[in-house]
Structure 1
Amino acid sequence: MSLSIDSSSQVLENGYEHVELLSGNNDEHEGVMVNMEKPMDSKVFLTALRASISLWRKQGKRGVWIKLPIGLANLIESAVKEGFHYHHAEPDYLMLVHWISESTTSTIPANATHRVGIGAIVMNDKRELLVVQEKSGKLKGMGIWKIPTGVVDAGEDIFKAAVREVKEETNIDTEFVEILGFRQTHKSFFEKSDLLFLCMMRPLSFDVQKQELEIEAAKWMPFEEYTAQQIVEKPGFYKCITDICLAKVDGDYIGFSPRLVKSSFTDQLSYFYLNEQDSNSS
């Protein structure tokens, strides 16, 4: 539970008499979260920040987070001069953080390290694979046919992202079946690591219409024709896709499907991916 810190508190020592402190909330890790909302002169902010840090140190606080909306960018320099550094940024705000404890080592968590993506295997009853050619990126102009891929949006479940991406790129409606596997790579988008989940999908419609913005071409391709591509025949990621696809279609490979679960500590719901068949038989 967050506890509000009174912004009208007075610090009467170290030259901060009658200074109005910054308003913040205690977090769960003995830190303080300050959400700046109202415009403030940078000099006034600097004085208030110094006084607030002095008080928070006496209270045993460890880290201080300052969330600055883009409209208060004038306060960034003052915060940085007091020891704050950038933690992460979103389109409408910048998050700054500073470890103020002088007796303990910083435990401030790093910003998110991974981006999550999906690859969608969609095969019809004619043993044709839904494939696309991209208009941009590394594969632009190479004539390579690949499965639809995309990035999971913030707050979006993996299986919903797979349905959305296939629809956006090809106009094909699909039903999520299961996750067949995933790949982890590093130093990808802005030096972040990358997780790509390979999803098996069941087509619900069949009339392909490519997305004009990102997709050069899209179609149903006989699976044997897809696997005959030089890049697919070579050992690597594309070969892994075909191998696991065959294991699913022609074998008894079982992937992971989502089960809705509730947190043990809150009422928050989430999805736990597991092998339903083997878990139910055990």
Structure 2
Amino acid sequence: MGRRIDYYDDPNAPKANSLVPSVNVVVTNEHGEILMIRRTDNDNWALPGGAIDLGESVAQAAIRETKEETGIDCEITGLVGIYSDPKHVIHYTSNDEVRQEFSILLTARPTGGTPQTSDESREVRWIPPTEATDRQMDRSMQLRIGHYLADPERPVIT
């Protein structure tokens, strides 16, 4: 598996050569804990998520990606924000793709399943919200979680 390298406002970052709509999901349990994964491609902590496939809706992609990466089934409950900052690019070394950020951040509640790892997640955990941004993660993920924690009812568009 190739690596994923995130760049933000970095003059040495490679130039974007694609734009792929993606989704991330803030799944919270009855204790208010946030479902997070430790990624296999860069060892950073993140919210579950990924690319939206042709033929599926944003909500369908969010539910599918959450299940694939965490083993948890969920129901979408809201919108945190839309992130499209062209200063944020993601380099996938396996195919030399460099994506401009375009991600939709949703909220969800778990409806079943058991936390389990996958090819994309080396750890899956429910994290208290006070600890969610204390882990090693990309700046963009920290920003998204911060927006959720600050005001989950007011969508952010960047």
Q: Same fold (TM over 0.5)?
A: yes
Distance (whole Å) between structure 2 residues aligned to residue 160 and residue 208 of structure 1:
19
For CA contacts below 8 A with separation 6 or more, give which structure has more relative contact order: 2
> How many residues are aligned here?
133
Q: Deviations over 1:55-91 (max 9, x none)?
A: xxxxxxxxxxxxxxxxxxxxxxxxxxxxxxxxxxxxx
Correspondence for 2:107: 200
Matched position secondary structure for 1:238: helix
Measure the CA separation in 2 of the matches of 1:184 and 1:160: 20
Q: Which whole-Å CA distance do the structure 2 matches of 1:192 and 1:198 have between them?
A: 17
* Aligned partners of 2:80 and 2:107 also within 8 Å: yes
Q: Deviations over 1:10-66 (max 9, x none)?
A: xxxxxxxxxxxxxxxxxxxxxxxxxxxxxxxxxxxxxxxxxxxxxxxxxxxxxxxxx
TM-superposed CA distance for 1:221, in Å, is 1.4
| Amino acid in structure 2 at the alignment position of 1:217 | E
Counterparts of 1:185 and 1:254, CA distance in 2: 19
Shift of 1:231: 4.9
**Higher normalized helix content (fraction of residues):** 1
SS at match of 1:227: coil
The 5 Å alignment of 1:254-273 reads 254-255=154-155
Q: How far apart are the structure 2 equivalents of 1:162 and 1:156? A: 10
Alpha-carbon RMSD across the aligned residues, in angstroms, is: 2.6
Closer/same/farther in 2, CA of residues 192 and 126 from structure 1, 3 Å limit: closer
Deviations 1:220-245 (A, max 9, x none): 1111122223658xxx4234223321
The correspondence for 2:145, drawn from 228, 235, 242, is: 242
Normalising by structure 2, report the TM-score.
0.71
Corresponding residue of 2:127:
221
Q: What secondary structure sits across from 2:103 in the alignment?
A: strand
Per-residue CA deviation, residues 162-191 of structure 1 (Å, 9 max, x unaligned), is: 000000111101001122111114455635
Asked if structure 2 preserves the Cα contact closer than 8 Å seen for 1:131 and 1:147, the reply is yes
Q: Which sections of structure 2, spanning at least 5 residues, go unmatched? A: 1-17, 92-96
The Cα offsets for residues 216-270 of structure 1, whole Å up to 9 and x where unpaired, read as 11111111122223658xxx42342233212445xxx2449xxxxxxxxxxxxxx
Q: Which consecutive unaligned segments of at least 5 residues does structure 1 have?
A: 1-112, 257-282
Superposed displacement of residue 145, structure 1: 2.2
The structure with the larger Rg is 1
* Alignment check: 8 A CA contact 1:119 1:196 kept: yes
Query: Normalising to structure 1: TM-score of the pair?
Result: 0.42
Tell me which residue corresponds to 1:168.
68
Aligned residues: percent identity? 26
- Answering whether residue 31 of structure 2 is matched by residue 131 of structure 1, we say no
